[in-house]
Amino acid sequence: MLLIIDNYDSFTFNLVHYFQELGATTRVIRNDAMSAAEALALQPDGIVLSPGPCDPDRAGICLDIIRQLPTDLPLLGVCLGHQAIGQAFGGDVISAKQIMHGKTSEMIHDATGLFAGLPSPFTATRYHSLAVKPETLPAALRATAHTADGEIMGLAHIERPIHGVQFHPESIASEHGHDLLKNFLDMTRGTRSRAA
């Protein structure tokens, strides 16, 4: 089961729909419906932190989930979820270089993890006014995608299956959204060593 933390955002159910189209069983909970420990006790195969209208400090259990996450549990953060990953590991979330609401940009990426098999660059839709500050990216994380002006658009943990994207792969104007989400879903299938 894929657990999706809804940060009170209209894009959440687009993500749910895409994952279900890819064959995932999903469960959606609001970011304030239970504690991080209760959410993790559901024993999901992966967790998705949805976009949302606030900053990571006001995103309910998102920061706690990242900090309490088992080391082998795949996690995907989208937009606000991406920012929460950056902040949870010690990075700063600041005002973006440009406010991007419904605008597209070219995503230049390293073709690993979420981006495996995708062309670089590709066009994706952005809806954000905050971003992870590149100069404060902690040693545990690496940038996996960026825009031409250097804004971080993707990040990954250097050892754990934790990934974030600042853009919206679930937007109809984003190219290769299904493929990117399938790459994450593949990480959740059979890659974890589960206690019996």
Answer yes or no: 79 catalytic.
Answer: yes
In the predicted model, is pLDDT for residue 194 greater than 60?
Answer: no
Among the listed residues 146, 157, 170, 176, the single catalytic one is 170
- Mean per-residue pLDDT, 81-101: 92
pLDDT at 166: 96
Among the listed residues 146, 168, 175, 176, the single catalytic one is 168
- The secondary structure of the chain, three-state, reads CEEEEECCCCCHHHHHHHHHHCCCCEEEEECCCCCHHHHHCCCCCEEEECCCCCCHHHCCCHHHHHHHCCCCCCEEEECHHHHHHHHHCCCCEEEEEEEEEEEEEEEEECCCHHHCCCCCCEEEEEEEEEEECHHHCCCCEEEEEECCCCCEEEEEECCCCEEEECCECCCCCCCCHHHHHHHHHHHHCCCCCCCC
Tell me the per-residue pLDDT of 163-187, one tens digit each, with 9 for 90 and over. 999 999 999 889 999 999 999 999 9
Among the listed residues 62, 79, 128, 175, the single catalytic one is 79
Answer yes or no: 62 catalytic.
Answer: no
pLDDT at 190: 65
pLDDT at 192: 41
In the predicted model, is pLDDT for residue 99 greater than 90?
Answer: no
- Mean per-residue pLDDT, 17-26: 97
pLDDT at 98: 80
Domains of the chain (ranges; CATH) run 2-188 (3.40.50.880)
pTM: 0.94
Tell me the per-residue pLDDT of 122-154, one tens digit each, with 9 for 90 and over. 999 998 899 999 999 999 999 999 999 999 999
Tell me the per-residue pLDDT of 27-64, one tens digit each, with 9 for 90 and over. 999 999 999 999 999 999 999 999 999 999 999 999 99
Answer yes or no: 38 catalytic.
Answer: no
In the predicted model, is pLDDT for residue 79 greater than 90?
Answer: yes
